[in-house]
Every structure is written in C-alpha cells, then in structure tokens.
Amino acid sequence: MLLTCRQLAETLGVDYLQASSIIKVLISSGVGFESKSVKSGGRGRPTVTYEVPQEIYINLSTGKIREAG
C-alpha cells in the first residue's frame, strides 16, 4: 500500500509527527520503505510516498514487527 505520513496521520487520527515515527519504525524493521519523492511546484520539502503492508503484526513482548498473514 502506498501512502504519505499525512495520509497515515488522518487514517489513524494521530499527529503528523506520530505518523512519521510509525513510518520510521516500519522502515527500520524492514517492513516498509520509501517508494518515491515528488517535488511540488513551490518551495519546501518534496512529498515522500512510502510502501507499507496493509496489515502488520507487532509483538509488544519481543518488539518484532512483521507483515500480517
């Protein structure tokens, strides 16, 4: 599934910074990765799209994260 941090924040009902932290954890665990970066016409940072699984499994006892299924 392709999404941005802003889309994840809206879906989960959390702040942008919290969504960004979730994305970083998924990337560091090898479950997600940066897909593409699109520069908007104006100034500022480009919009980054991430490839993440639609469902994940998080084991809070061990800290392991994996794709569900």
Select the highest-mean-pLDDT range: 1-5, 37-41, 45-49.
1-5
Give CA separation, 13 vs 44, 56, 57, in Å: 25, 18, 20
pTM of the model: 0.83
Please give the pLDDT value at position 38: 82
Give CA separation, 31 vs 16, 44, 67, in Å: 20, 28, 7
Domains and CATH numbers, the chain: 2-67 (1.10.10)
**Are the CB atoms for 4 and 20 separated by under 8 Å?**
no
Tell me the pLDDT tens digit for each residue of 6-41: 999 999 999 999 999 999 999 999 999 999 888 777
As a residue count, the chain comes to: 69
Collapse the DSSP code of 34 into the 3-class scheme (helix H, G, I; strand E, B; otherwise coil) and give the result: strand
Please give the pLDDT value at position 28: 95
pLDDT at 42 over 80: no
